[in-house]
A and B are shown apart, each in its own frame.
Chain A
Amino acid sequence: MAAHSLSPSLYRLLFAVKYASLHSRCCAVHKKAQYSTIYNPSEKTFEKILIANRGEIACRVIKTCKKMGIKTVAVHSDVDSSAVHAKMADEAVCVGPAPTSKSYLNMDAIMDAIRTTGAQAVHPGYGFLSENKEFAKRLAAEGVTFIGPDTHAIQAMGDKIESKLIAKAAKVNTIPGFDGVVKTAEEAVKIAQDIGYPVMIKASAGGGGKGMRIAWNDEETREGFRFSSQEAASSFGDDRLLIEKYIDNPRHIEIQVLADKHGNALWLNERECSIQRRNQKVVEEAPSTFLDSVTRQAMGEQAVQLAKAVQYSSAGTVEFLVDSKKNFYFLEMNTRLQVEHPITECITGLDLVEQMIRVAKGYRLQHKQEDIPINGWAIESRVYAEDPYKSFGLPSIGRLSQYHEPLNLSNVRVDSGIQEGSDISIYYDPMISKLVTYGATRSEALARMEDALDNYVIRGVTHNIPLLREIITHPRFISGDISTNFLPEVYPDGFKGHQLEADTRRELLASAAALYITAQLRSQRFLGEVEVSGQWDLASPLLPLTINSTHKMLQCLSRDASGNIVLQYLGTSFQVRVLSKLAAELNSYMPEKVPEDTSSILRSPMPGTMVAVSVKPGDTVAEGQEICVIEAMKMQNSLTAVKQAKVKSVHCKPGDTVGEGDLLVELE
């Protein structure tokens, strides 16, 4: 009956929609993109390992430990007491309250946990204490093995300046024109001018992209200096800074190395990590489309030279910037397991965690360089609890009210440390999971990634799947034409979600209409008057549809009685309104509700803590002037005025905890 009232054009579209069998896809052969743990029971190893980390990486380490028959101890903060990693481990010890400085960075508490549980070794994961030489020293003093390189290598590579000197000495290509520890803003400007713009400013002690800012002129250098030194102080307790020449349009390619304590070292091929936003990686792949075997080998050999130069043992990563002419420059060495290690595991078949544990126990490497293959292609998407429509991703928090990983698909690996019902809090990294797909070829891996993203059900927090799906299907990405500037170049006006073409628009509308009608028909079915064939499951968040004889996976995010349907289609969520012809006609009489004028009020774009408020009532602010700074997920974000105006009232003060959408400042 509802069908009758649909507008005729929409109704005609419906004939194109065939109902796909829901279960047809779930029956696919279970095949996983995996690494194999070649655990040899006769090889004596540790009896108990403590994992000084949380989330997915803690779970990842525990998995391998279980395969190797090693008992595990998790540490957790009080809010993490029912977290997945704490439940997965054989033992769990609470090491303090939620803020990381009081729990996961609390060395005293972690040392106590090691003593009480009798753990023989500690795996630090990444972040937190993984590159903290102090921690490694304290472990050594108590006779506990640190699963990672020794203190010397951590110290040498942890310092950006020292590491480059060592790299130079080891005949590794380094970036021209860098040097200097910076104390004041003016000194920073002078150094920058000497090097020549653009320059990059970052905390010496920081890893990854955190605290890294690019300056194109003196003004930005001063600003960058201020932010980076603040961030350096708050995140690392070490306010030294580094300024160096910034290579325009570079690729970020890194080499995984693995070394033992007997002077042997291997390179396990490269990872292409050029897709970044704010210098944090989003999508990674291995191998890289850009490297030829000669460059690969040259990079690999230099990476091994560097590892040997610092007597490196364990798994480590040597990061390079590669310019368009395949010149590569040493960037830094990460003396830990990288976030993106799964893609290396996929193409080499090695279990890096297992190798780290073996090496830490003192065993020699099992492989020779010629044993290291490149088998197939692996892609990793970092699924974050972030709103991709705001600067390619501002943190979002919330409770995962529904959460299903796409593990029913073959060649999919999901590394996560959360489950349905988990909270994504402001205290920790907003990463939900690492979604890895694998294939014999790149296009196979990419196609599987598309499927996996479409099948991934995440409700309760805003996530970046729309962005991820757009990236992996973008022609430039598919052709391999990428650089670290990919996102700002491809989306100069910011990410706006998938843009529908005429045919995809029709598909979306037809799907929404079909869904609407199915729901309408079901409402009448209690009478037994209407019989509908097809396999719709209105309770399922996934909508497997066959549209014009191709399978498409859509997701229904919400559906209400007013005909508002939100569908996730091609990664992006679209709001569709399906109304009967009558309702649509009558709806034209309904008045538009006037939305709030937002130009004169500043609302918090994300949840976080107020670090600084730079204005007070009565001040006049210029367009673009900083109003306040919010710290969220360890990032400082500056909020600026969108127009010149007088400040009417200020509703926040430093130290306040603010939620997304909270009113901060009103302008006149």
Chain B
Amino acid sequence: MAAFSVARSSCGFLSGLRVSFRSLAQVKHGAVAASVPQTSLLRDSRWYSVSHLSVKERIDKKRKAALIGGGQKRIDAQHKRGKLTARERVELLLDPDSFVETDMFVEHRCSDFGMEQDRNKFPGDSVVTGRGRINGRLVYVFSQDFTVFGGSLSGAHAQKICKIMDQAMTVGAPVIGLNDSGGARIQEGVESLAGYADIFLRNVMASGVVPQISLIMGPCAGGAVYSPALTDFTFMVKDTSYLFITGPDVVKSVTNEDVTQEELGGAKTHTSVSGVAHHAFENDVEALLNLREIPPPFRECHDPSDRLVPSLDTIVPFESTKAYDMLDIIQAIVDEREFFEIMPNYAKNIVVGFARMNGRTVGIVGNQPKVASGCLDINSSVKGARFVRFCDAFNIPIITFVDVPGFLPGTAQEYGGIIRHGAKLLFAFAEATVPKITIITRKAYGGAYDVMSSKHLRGDVNYAWPSAEVAVMGAKGAVQIIFRGKDNQAEAEAEYVEKFANPFPAAVRGFVDDIIEPSTTRRKICRDLDVLASKKQVNPWKKHANIPL
């Protein structure tokens, strides 16, 4: 309620919303905090009666217990599965000695089914939380501990996660979740469900405020999957991580399908078929080391920003039907050929990912002529749209490389709702207020031309290469309409090509700012980004837009 009224009275400044939300969170947090001393007081008295250890010794003992989680046997079992423990993961992810742990003494509060017994109490419960630094930059981390009750989520577990998420939002630092959990703590019943919902709410509230990254390093099933689904990026570890709403057994009993865990929700499924996960890594170590570079932070650049790239002058083939690899262009243009591709195996007809230009982090979107001619379809539109919105939310400039023959035709696409899904990409590009630079390398046909960060959607700088063809459609189709019934189709086609299959129609109207030599592209983009660093653009105030979901 408070949130609504503040937002209205402040005429809709985002900051207003954020402030009000923060106060809301603190109230909630306060309530939780109040309940903690009660339980610990109870426990303390019990401890006091059975042992005569001094407080200091008891602290040491608890800390020690927290550090080994579920015990050496379970740690060994975890290692045997090819997985690291929650603490090992945190240590590897963060800069050495930078981890500051919170809530090491929190324990679960369940007293049913014998859970209140000492042997069922683990300091810190089944999650390790805290903050640390990655290459000197502050992040908040939670890492679920599979060795304690299979990493299941108790009320206390959820409360620990919520606490660091609240702190992350207060200071504006990213949240990284390392998921390895069997699911809800069944013994706790609805308290566990409430815990999930508390986390979901924070995921939603933090969305667009701080970057949220999930790395699935073990099972993640049932309702638990929605927390990663709400975060900005979901990464998986091959062979050891699974994400699904219901497991193979339930699938069998309901739909009578035989499917393995790996097929149903493994890394390969989610990175290439469902599009749920954005990237998969070979193992825990590689995943964590790579996570340190995502998304690539702004850093010193050794690659000259005015470097010419002569190889680009010959990259677009002469025949407009011949494919080439858009990644070749991207790698040649960005700093040090470093391109972190997001979803490389899903909807390959569009390429999205992060790179740096003169040290600055940029988001790159490009049609991939090598796959399905680079056309836009349902999956590629959604993939592109989500990425563009991420960049816009976190002020990352967007560079778009266009070679698109149009939207993919067919009943499958129409029935699947290409109109609605294609609109998402259009919506995302149109509403984005970050610097937008567009390079048309070859085809920019029809509605897809409009969609791909065109001048008309507030593109800041739009370039065309000499090989660009900006037109309503390809020559063949156009000629069949314009010159219907004319005998000499070949001649008509040649005329159309002469008139439209080049960058001039767009250039004379100012729809592209310049026709540039491909080899100068890097230099021009770097200069434009310098200028656009001070870009200020605000969309009309609204509660939120209504993107066609």
Contact = CB atoms under 8 A, between A and B. Distances in A.
A400 B311 CA distance: 8
B331 interface: yes
B283 A526 contact: no
Place the interface of chain B in its size category: 35 or more
Contacts of B332: 401
Nearest to B79: A589
Interface in A321-374: none
B315 interface: yes
Given A399-B328, A586-B92, A589-B79, A561 B293 contact: yes
Given A421-B310, A589-B79, A539 B135 contact: no
Nearest to A563: B289
A560 B291 CA distance: 12
A367 B300 CA distance: 60
B300 A401 contact: no
B328 A401 contact: yes
B72 to A, nearest CB: 14
B285 interface: yes
A589 B315 contact: no
Interface in A420-436: 420-422
Nearest to A84: B314
A539 B302 contact: yes
B450 interface: no
B293 A583 contact: no
Contacts of B309: 420
Interface string A401-414: 11100000000000
Contacts, number: 106
A529 B289 contact: no
Given A527-B136, A539-B301, A590-B283, A583 B92 contact: yes
A634 to B, nearest CB: 24
B312 interface: yes
Interface in B281-324: 282-286, 289-290, 292-293, 297-304, 309-315, 318
Contact of A525 (B300, B304, B310, B337): B300
Interface string A566-607: 000000000000011011001101110100000000000000
A295 interface: no
A586 B298 contact: no
Nearest to B91: A582
A371 B239 CA distance: 74
Contact of B290 (A78, A523, A562): A562
B293 to A, nearest CB: 4
B335 interface: yes
A82 B315 CA distance: 10
Interface string A615-634: 00000000000000000000
B461 interface: no
Nearest to A459: B337
B24 to A, nearest CB: 33
A133 interface: no
Nearest to A540: B302
B262 interface: no
Contacts of B315: 399, 421
B222 interface: no
Contacts of B297: 523, 526
A537 interface: yes
A529 B137 CA distance: 12
A82 B314 contact: yes
A529 B136 contact: yes
Given A524-B135, A527-B136, A591 B82 contact: yes
Contacts of A523: 135-136, 292-293, 297, 299
A529 B92 CA distance: 22
Nearest to B302: A539
B95 A1 contact: yes
Contact of B285 (A399, A422, A590): A590
Given A419-B310, A526-B298, A563-B289, A538 B284 contact: no
Interface residues of A, number: 42
A78 B314 contact: no
B299 A422 contact: no
Contact of A420 (B136, B310, B336): B310
Contact of A562 (B289, B325, B331, B336): B289
A538 B310 contact: no
A91 B414 CA distance: 51
Contacts of B299: 522-523, 525-526
B96 A586 contact: no
B290 A582 contact: no
A580 B88 CA distance: 13
B136 A539 contact: no
B84 interface: yes
A4 interface: yes
Contacts of B88: 586
B314 A421 contact: yes
Contacts of B328: 399, 401
A659 to B, nearest CB: 14
A192 to B, nearest CB: 48
A525 B325 CA distance: 34
A583 B284 contact: no
A561 B290 contact: yes
A443 interface: no
B311 A401 contact: yes
Given A420-B311, A561-B293, A539 B335 contact: yes
Nearest to A592: B82
Nearest to A560: B290
A537 B304 CA distance: 10
Most-contacted residue by chain A among B91, B239, B302 (CB, 10 A): B302
Given A523-B297, A586-B88, 20 more contacts: A4-B96, A82-B318, A401-B328, A401-B337, A402-B311, A402-B337, A420-B310, A421-B314, A523-B135, A524-B135, A526-B297, A526-B298, A529-B136, A539-B302, A539-B304, A561-B293, A563-B289, A589-B82, A590-B285, A593-B239
19 contacts: A1-B95, A401-B331, A421-B310, A421-B311, A421-B312, A520-B135, A526-B299, A527-B136, A538-B302, A539-B302, A540-B302, A562-B285, A562-B286, A563-B289, A589-B84, A590-B284, A590-B285, A591-B82, A593-B282
Interface of A: 1, 4-5, 78, 81-82, 399-403, 419-422, 520, 522-527, 529, 536-540, 560-563, 579-580, 582-583, 586-587, 589-591, 593
Interface pairs A-B: 7 shortest CB-CB: A421-B311, A539-B303, A591-B82, A539-B302, A420-B311, A523-B135, A590-B283
